[in-house]
Structure formats: structure tokens, C-alpha cells
């Protein structure tokens, strides 16, 4: 038994990836449709919404935007979130831009040595959020057919994010980045010249394209994974387990799908509104706060390069989902 366990650990990922490849062949027709749907979703909703924000974020990081925020807001941001005032750039852009802009800004701040590794971990727990355009437009208007619901979900989402940020001000509070603090870094950059605009704009667009293509890849991939789970019968086994616990199949399917991939999960949870209105809104609010495994892996692919721990992000998003549901219930 010990030998079998050791072998499974050693070849775990190889077995998983091999099974995935075989599943791609066995369910090729359905997987093709799922991939096309994921690609359409990315091209029609995600690309036009996030790409301009990615470019704008990269451009702002080349200016003294963070320096100005640091000077103005340090006396407010530091006591509440235990991070420098410059960090408000990540809080602001992560709130208005959508997944995973907040993670990119945090990594930019750390890469520029404006914040330490521990401060980056505190920030990553609450600065990566669903954007207002997605919550108000896609969720509120397109899915629930009611702008008021979108407003309630958005307010709950923002309040939950700030609540998580306050909770994580205590993250590794007793640990100090001595080497970082000994280097008094000045976040003020040299003023931009007109001759620099072309080069900076080109670089910003290239970085934004790389990020948006990565997101598109995750959306298509997880659309295919959901298709495989459904066609292989794994979904039926899981939903049967929930059914024995007294949970209807529609509800369990929405929960599982949303836990794996946000957009598809929110789409299914909104379909429950006609029969279970309160539960539908609370589940949608939780999923928007949590983000799903797909977004988690997107964030991990960004922060891993900067050696930022993903643990505070996981804890923070679970907590944000719970807080968002509570705030939604109170507002309703």
C-alpha cells in the first residue's frame, strides 16, 4: 500500500494530464462546442471589457500615480489595511477593473519595490475582484434582468472586499521585512516626456495582450473541463451525492460549476431566481466574491513569478464570498 501511495504521488499529475488528453478524444464533439462557447464568451464579454483596463493600468504604472496616492492617502490606508498609501492603486484598480487586474497591480508594486512581500500578500487577499461592468451589466441586467439586483450585488461585493482587507491587516503582523525596510525606496518616477509616449504605449499594449490572451486560455480550458465532467458522468455522481443530502440537482450543479468557473456558475445560479430567489442571490453573491478555481489559477500564474504566497488569496476569497452573501442578505 505504501508503494502504491508513493507511486500515485509521484505520477499524480502525469495521470491527471493523461486522463485529460484521453477525455479530449473521447468527448471531442462536445468539447469542441464547449471550447467555441468559451471563446465566444471571451471575445464578446471579457476582451472588450478588460483589455482597455489592462492597457490603462500599465500606463498608470509608468506615471507618478502611485506616488501621488501614497502622499494623499497614506494616513488613511496605513491604519486600516496596514499597507503603504501607494497600495490604494491596487485597491482602486482591482475594484473597478475586474479579475485579475488587482493581482497585476500588486505584482507591479512589489516589482517596483514600493511594497514588501508581506504587504503584497495582504493586498492580494482583497484587491482582486469582479468588475462593476460585469456585475451590473452581465449579472444584473443580462442574467437577472434587473439593474437593482446588480447594484445590490456590487455594493455587497465592495463592502466584503474592504472587510477582508481589514481582517488581513493582521496577516504576518509580527514579521518584518527588515531588508526591505532598510532600503528606503522612493516611488516617485521621473516625469514622462512626449518622446516616451510611443514606447510606453507599445509596451503597455504588449503586456495587456499577453494578459488578456492568458485569461482567454483559462476560460476556454475550463469550459472544456466542465464539458468533460458533464459528459463523463462525474457531474452526475457528485450531484447524486448532494441529492441524497436533500439538495436539488439544479442547485448542486450551480454550486459545483461556480466553484470551478465563475461565469458559467453565475449563469446557472441566476436561473434559480424564479424558484429560489433569495438563495439564487446569496449564491451569486458568494460566487462573485470567491471567483472560482479558474480565476484562482489565473491569479496564481501572475503572483507565482513574484514569489507571493497564494494562501492569503485563497483564504481571503472564501471569506469575501461569505461576507458578500451576508451583506447581500442585509441589503435585501
Q: What is the pLDDT of residue 67?
A: 73
First to last CA, the chain: 54
CA–CA distance, 86 with 105 (Å, rounded to integer): 11
**What is the pLDDT, as a whole number, of residue 184?**
47
Rounded Cα gap, residues 316 and 310, in angstroms: 10
Q: Are 100 and 295 in contact (CB under 8 A)?
A: yes
Q: Give the three cell numbers for residue 249.
A: 440537482
Q: How far is CA 9 from CA 5, 17, 329, in A?
A: 6, 14, 43
Q: pTM for the whole thing?
A: 0.81
Is-contact 90 123, C-beta < 8 A?
A: yes
- For 75-110, letters b (16+ CB in 10 Å) and e give eebeeebbbbbbbbbbbbbbbebbbbbbbbbbbbbb
Per-residue model confidence as pLDDT tens for the chain (332 residues):
665 555 666 777 788 888 888 888 888 888 899 888 888 878 887 787 778 877 887 787 777 776 777 778 778 888 888 888 888 888 888 888 777 778 888 888 888 788 888 888 999 999 988 888 788 887 888 888 888 999 999 999 999 999 999 999 888 776 666 555 544 455 555 565 665 677 788 888 887 888 788 878 888 888 888 888 888 888 888 888 888 888 888 888 888 888 888 888 888 898 888 888 999 999 999 999 998 888 898 888 888 878 888 899 999 999 999 999 999 999 99
Q: What is the 3-state secondary structure (H, E, C) of 283-331?
A: HHHHHHHHCHHHHHHHHHHHHHHHCCCCHHHHHHHHHHHHHHHHHHHHH
In this structure, are residues 109 and 65 in contact, taking their beta carbons and an 8 Å threshold?
no
User: Could you tell me where the DSSP H helices lie in 232-291?
Assistant: 234-244, 249-260, 262-270, 277-290
Burial of 250 from C-beta contacts in 10 A (0-12 / 13-18 / 19+): middle
Distance of CA 12 to the CA centre of its chain: 26
Cβ distance 118 to 177 under 8 Å?
Answer: yes
CA angle 119, 176, 93 (to 5 degrees): 10
Q: What is the pLDDT of residue 150?
A: 92
Amino acid at each position: 500500500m505504501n508503494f502504491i501511495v508513493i507511486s500515485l504521488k509521484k505520477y499524480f499529475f502525469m495521470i491527471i494530464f493523461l486522463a485529460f488528453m484521453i477525455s479530449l478524444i473521447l468527448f471531442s464533439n462536445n468539447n469542441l462546442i464547449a471550447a467555441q462557447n468559451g471563446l465566444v464568451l471571451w471575445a464578446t464579454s471579457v476582451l472588450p471589457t478588460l483589455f482597455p483596463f489592462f492597457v490603462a493600468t500599465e500606463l498608470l504604472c509608468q506615471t507618478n500615480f502611485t506616488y501621488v496616492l501614497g502622499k494623499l492617502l497614506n494616513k488613511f490606508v496605513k491604519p486600516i489595511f496596514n499597507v503603504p498609501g501607494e497600495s490604494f492603486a491596487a485597491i482602486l484598480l482591482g475594484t473597478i477593473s475586474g479579475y485579475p487586474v488587482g493581482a497585476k497591480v500588486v505584482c507591479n508594486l512589489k516589482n517596483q519595490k514600493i511594497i514588501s512581500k508581506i504587504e503584497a500578500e495582504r493586498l492580494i487577499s482583497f484587491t482582486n475582484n469582479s468588475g462593476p461592468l460585469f456585475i451590473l451589466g452581465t449579472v444584473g441586467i443580462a442574467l437577472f434582468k434587473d439593474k437593482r439586483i446588480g447594484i445590490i450585488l456590487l455594493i455587497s461585493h465592495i463592502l466584503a472586499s474592504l472587510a477582508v482587507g481589514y481582517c488581513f491587516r493582521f496577516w504576518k503582523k509580527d514579521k518584518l521585512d527588515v531588508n526591505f525596510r532598510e532600503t528606503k525606496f522612493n516611488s516617485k518616477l521621473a516625469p514622462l516626456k512626449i518622446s516616451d509616449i510611443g514606447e510606453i504605449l507599445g509596451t503597455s499594449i504588449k503586456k495587456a495582450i499577453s494578459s488578456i490572451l492568458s485569461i482567454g486560455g483559462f476560460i476556454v480550458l475550463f469550459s472544456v473541463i466542465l464539458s468533460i465532467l458533464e459528459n463523463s458522468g462525474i457531474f452526475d455522481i457528485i450531484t447524486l451525492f448532494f441529492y441524497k443530502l436533500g439538495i436539488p440537482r439544479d442547485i448542486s450543479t450551480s454550486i459545483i460549476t461556480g466553484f470551478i468557473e465563475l461565469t458559467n456558475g453565475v449563469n446557472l445560479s441566476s436561473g434559480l431566481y424564479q424558484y429560489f430567489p433569495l438563495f439564487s442571490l446569496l449564491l451569486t453573491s458568494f460566487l462573485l466574491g470567491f471567483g472560482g478555481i479558474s480565476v484562482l489559477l489565473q491569479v496564481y500564474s501572475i503572483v507565482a513569478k513574484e514569489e507571493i504566497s497564494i494562501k492569503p488569496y485563497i483564504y481571503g476569497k472564501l471569506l469575501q464570498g461569505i461576507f458578500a452573501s451576508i451583506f447581500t442578505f442585509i441589503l435585501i
